[in-house]
Structure 1
Amino acid sequence: MSAERILLIDDEPAFCQLAQSWLQHSGYQVQTAADLPAAKLLLPGFKPDLVLLDLSLPPEFDPQHTLSQLGSFTQQPVIILTGHAQRQLALDAIALGAWDFIAKPVDPDLLAVVIKRALSKHQLDTELSQLKQQQQGALQQLIGASPAMAAMRTLIQRIAPTDVRVLVTGPSGTGKEVVSRALHQLSRRANQPFVSVHCGAIPAELLESELFGYVKGAFTGADKDRPGLLQLADKGTLFLDEIGEMPLPMQVKLLRVLQEGTYFAVGGRQQQKIDLRLISATNANLPELVKKGLFREDLYYRIKGITLETVALAERKQDIPLLLQFFLQQQAKQQGQSLKLDSTALNWFIQRDWPGNVRELKNTLESVAAVAQGGVLSMADISLLHPQALNLQAMLPLDSSQMSLEQAVQQLEIKLIKHALLQCKGNKSQAARELGLSRQGLLKKIDRYRLAD
């Protein structure tokens, strides 16, 4: 670790030379300047971790003016050097944000203690600020004002600081990994690794060596020791995505890890200890897999300390405008221009059921943004990629301006469903495909709006 840097601003050359010697002997890097303009010339080549400021620098010292000038180029702690006659000015400077003051003549031992305390406190404040920003960022990824999302955020904030194991369930594309990362970022392990493993993406014969690692000579091609993902996740969080696809032999070995906190690398004889938090996710019905003998019951109860269920986007449509705004901001940043949706395009996005959930919504918006011109995404842009959307505006309720958004969406859905069933001669499977819905999703809407007749 590099030595911490101190900037000494004092117009007494003899004191500067003496203090520089003291501080360098204590292991600090030190630069001196006779006044504020000279100090500013040292930047940006020298960025101090702490500033020592002689209170008697200007003919008439103004603490507020001087500290504001310092603040323009450093946010680090400032320690005032002062004579006894300037005690009130020093106290004024502390009230304005200086860390502390030391009276001249300076006691080297006292100076060392004050500097060490200031640097330690500043480092702690910085770490806490970074952690707070990280936590706020984690919650900002959980986008939505619906009751389901509000409840999800509340529960995540409550369980994240613990080490309880969490099972995240829900349809594909609903943000199970986003939830899992938020749990990690809000936990005591936030500064440790978050290791994500997709259990269905790694061939069964390779999953053990990927998780546990292997030693040299364990199998053909193992020419050196290789750490596994468990070791990489030590002290942090291991996220097992689609754990329902984990082969049964690996389930047995994972159960041992969870029970004993130990494992063996492939081909290894030395037992390794592990300390991690496990978060699992699946879109499968694990209890059903347990009944069919495809998932171990004992492992199921090991991983489901608390179950969080993500909600399909069709069940929280009020969150769609917020999600669109978030994704548009991301796209605008990538394209270097402002982007927005016109009202008809927004209605089109809201009325769809999005069987692929948030992932499908995001991908569709990105595709439309790619073909749009002029920064405004319109129905014309959508129809280039989704020709079935051409008749949407004509099907909007005539009195939609007098309706709430929810009422207008309901009336639009009814018209679209009737139109699709008419065009498909009552074939519900074909109508569902035309509407971009699953058959089950269409049947639910037919039942909800009493359109069965």
Structure 2
Amino acid sequence: MMQNKILLVDDEPAFRELASRWLANQNYHVKTASSLEEARETIAHFDADLVLLDLSMPPHFDPQVTLDSMSDFEGRPVIIITGHADRDLALKAVELGAWDFIAKPIDPGMLAVVVRRAITKTTLERELNQLKKSTQQAQGAASYIGHSASSHKIRALIERIAPTNVRVLVTGPSGTGKEVISRTLHDLSHRATKPFVSVHCGAIPADLLESELFGYVKGAFTGAEKDKVGLLSLADGGTLFLDEIGEMPLAMQVKLLRVLQEGTFFPVGGREQKHIDIRVVSATNADLLGKVQEGSFREDLYYRIKGVNIETQSLSERLEDVPVLLQAFLHRLQSQQSKNLQLSSEALQWFRDQTWPGNVRELKNALESVASICPQGRISMEDIQLLYPSVDRISNTQLISDSSMSEATLDQQVRELEIRLIHHALDKSQSNRTQAAKQLGISRQGLIKKIERYGL
């Protein structure tokens, strides 16, 4: 896992040594600076995720100079380090844009909480902004996207084989994007201007599948009152996608094999042979080799359709793809609903924390459902909880579990309620403490004291 980077700016050598060593033990990559000038030089080549900045720095030891320097670290959260005597100045720093402040002597546990929360929030926000750019390719043609190692490998393989005519078999669990892969292969091929025809082999009754694929001539059977063009002819020059090919009846498998071998077929009831030029991409969530062994799938057909095998993974095995998928889905929803849709960092974290047994299809449906009840365009945990009442809020603070509530004292229950209300107010105000305090009916300083007391 990539280490988060921290720049520690303090003029006390002993503190820099101890603090940087402790942060390094927490798996952070730490660089230090003893002056504001050195900090500016360091940040130019060290892309820090967070800056820990002492309020009183040489040569002037003027806190106002330090506060003015925060603009040098634009785009990164700044946590002010201060003595107790400078508390008012620290509050002013927060008003000017600092993420938070922490007083010396520093409690390692408190520092861990403040640093973790700051990095988590800003990392998510930065990730969302980057994903908006990286998923613009999904605005046009279908595109298989993802940041995981397996998704990068699949994308690289798609780009390599798309210009060829090699047949492709896409395997993997349901809902993992097998049809998206097939469409991407088509869109990146020389056949992109020709039709992409999708056939679900298990959705068409066995007695109708042949006439749907091959078409028929007038009088071929009762009810055939005129000629009908089959899906094979419609796909001529383009791509035929055979979804769930493992469900194709054996009798139909024999006829499909002849098409793949010779590039010709006869419409049902017809005597005129048809020639077609198609690329066949097949998909299945079944074990085709197992079906071959049990006799329900032809071995010769298996090797005909399996020119290159692309195997997809379940979403639970590549959860790092969730944010980029969400952003792509959000973009499509924005186009459909003509409104700006965004995810709060807390809502994004909730989506990332689920295992999604229904894979990408379930993720997409869940996002669409939540977006449909989101009135303002910003999807929050409150919206998610309306559809998923059992969902608890995401929090880095350990709360009293439901199972122990019956044993909790009144003070403990009041503490939990306050924590939940504070989290809710901060989320609704997008972490604006002044607005959150107004929502709670307390002063801003009172809110900061509670945040500090509970280590939020």
Q: Normalised by the size of structure 2, how large is the TM-score?
A: 0.56
Shift of 1:333: 2.6
Q: Distance in 2 between matches of 1:334 and 1:194?
A: 23
Instruction: Pick closer, same or farther for the CA change 1:178–1:264 going to 2, 3 Å.
Output: same
Match of 1:144 in 2: 146
Instruction: Pick closer, same or farther for the CA change 1:138–1:169 going to 2, 3 Å.
Output: farther
Given that residues 145 and 151 in structure 2 are in contact (C-alpha distance below 8 angstroms), is that contact kept between their aligned partners in structure 1? yes
Q: Deviations over 1:270-292 (max 9, x none)?
A: 22212111100111111111111
Match of 2:222 in 1: 220
Given that residues 214 and 227 in structure 1 are in contact (C-alpha distance below 8 angstroms), is that contact kept between their aligned partners in structure 2? yes
Instruction: Pick closer, same or farther for the CA change 1:166–1:233 going to 2, 3 Å.
Output: same
Match of 1:307 in 2: 309
Q: Distance in 2 between matches of 1:269 and 1:139?
A: 39
Q: Distance in 2 between matches of 1:276 and 1:336?
A: 38
Q: Deviations over 1:118-146 (max 9, x none)?
A: xxxxxxxxxxxxxxxx9986787222111
Match of 2:397 in 1: 398
Instruction: Pick closer, same or farther for the CA change 1:347–1:136 going to 2, 3 Å.
Output: closer
Given that residues 145 and 155 in structure 2 are in contact (C-alpha distance below 8 angstroms), is that contact kept between their aligned partners in structure 1? no
Given that residues 145 and 318 in structure 1 are in contact (C-alpha distance below 8 angstroms), is that contact kept between their aligned partners in structure 2? yes
Match of 1:206 in 2: 208
Q: Which protein has greater RCO, CA pairs closer than 8 Å, 6+ apart?
A: 2
Q: Distance in 2 between matches of 1:355 and 1:304?
A: 27
Instruction: Pick closer, same or farther for the CA change 1:151–1:376 going to 2, 3 Å.
Output: same
Aligned partner letter, 1:295: F
Aligned partner letter, 2:353: Q
Residue 304 of structure 2 is aligned to residue 297 of structure 1: no
Instruction: Pick closer, same or farther for the CA change 1:270–1:151 going to 2, 3 Å.
Output: same
> Which protein is bigger by CA-based radius of gyration?
1
Equivalences for residues 103-252 of structure 1 within 5 A: 141-252=143-254
Instruction: Pick closer, same or farther for the CA change 1:151–1:138 going to 2, 3 Å.
Output: farther
Given that residues 135 and 186 in structure 1 are in contact (C-alpha distance below 8 angstroms), is that contact kept between their aligned partners in structure 2? no
Q: Distance in 2 between matches of 1:146 and 1:136?
A: 17
Which secondary structure does the structure 2 equivalent of 1:219 belong to? coil
Match of 1:363 in 2: 365
Equivalences for residues 246-325 of structure 1 within 5 A: 246-325=248-327
Match of 2:333 in 1: 331
Given that residues 195 and 237 in structure 1 are in contact (C-alpha distance below 8 angstroms), is that contact kept between their aligned partners in structure 2? yes
Residue 380 of structure 2 is aligned to residue 381 of structure 1: no
Given that residues 137 and 143 in structure 2 are in contact (C-alpha distance below 8 angstroms), is that contact kept between their aligned partners in structure 1? no
Instruction: Pick closer, same or farther for the CA change 1:172–1:265 going to 2, 3 Å.
Output: same
Percent identical pairs in the alignment equals: 64
Match of 1:431 in 2: none
Shift of 1:239: 0.7
Instruction: Pick closer, same or farther for the CA change 1:192–1:354 going to 2, 3 Å.
Output: same
Match of 1:116 in 2: none
Instruction: Pick closer, same or farther for the CA change 1:246–1:214 going to 2, 3 Å.
Output: same
Q: Distance in 2 between matches of 1:273 and 1:337?
A: 48
Match of 1:83 in 2: none
Given that residues 194 and 237 in structure 2 are in contact (C-alpha distance below 8 angstroms), is that contact kept between their aligned partners in structure 1? yes
Q: Distance in 1 between matches of 2:147 and 2:342?
A: 20
Aligned partner letter, 1:333: S
Number of residue pairs aligned between Structure 1 and Structure 2: 268
Q: Distance in 2 between matches of 1:312 and 1:138?
A: 25
Instruction: Pick closer, same or farther for the CA change 1:372–1:180 going to 2, 3 Å.
Output: same
Which secondary structure does the structure 1 equivalent of 2:222 belong to? coil
Instruction: Pick closer, same or farther for the CA change 1:165–1:184 going to 2, 3 Å.
Output: same
Q: Normalised by the size of structure 1, how large is the TM-score?
A: 0.56
Q: Distance in 1 between matches of 2:263 and 2:144?
A: 31
Q: Distance in 2 between matches of 1:136 and 1:323?
A: 10
Q: Distance in 1 between matches of 2:140 and 2:185?
A: 8
Shift of 1:201: 1.0
Given that residues 169 and 305 in structure 2 are in contact (C-alpha distance below 8 angstroms), is that contact kept between their aligned partners in structure 1? yes
Q: Which runs of 5+ in 2 are unaligned?
A: 1-135, 404-456
Aligned partner letter, 1:289: K
Q: Distance in 2 between matches of 1:266 and 1:382?
A: 52
Which secondary structure does the structure 1 equivalent of 2:199 belong to? strand
Instruction: Pick closer, same or farther for the CA change 1:228–1:139 going to 2, 3 Å.
Output: closer
Given that residues 135 and 185 in structure 1 are in contact (C-alpha distance below 8 angstroms), is that contact kept between their aligned partners in structure 2? no
Which secondary structure does the structure 1 equivalent of 2:192 belong to? coil
Aligned partner letter, 1:254: L
Q: Distance in 1 between matches of 2:191 and 2:343?
A: 39
Which secondary structure does the structure 1 equivalent of 2:169 belong to? strand
Residue 341 of structure 2 is aligned to residue 342 of structure 1: no
Given that residues 138 and 186 in structure 1 are in contact (C-alpha distance below 8 angstroms), is that contact kept between their aligned partners in structure 2? no
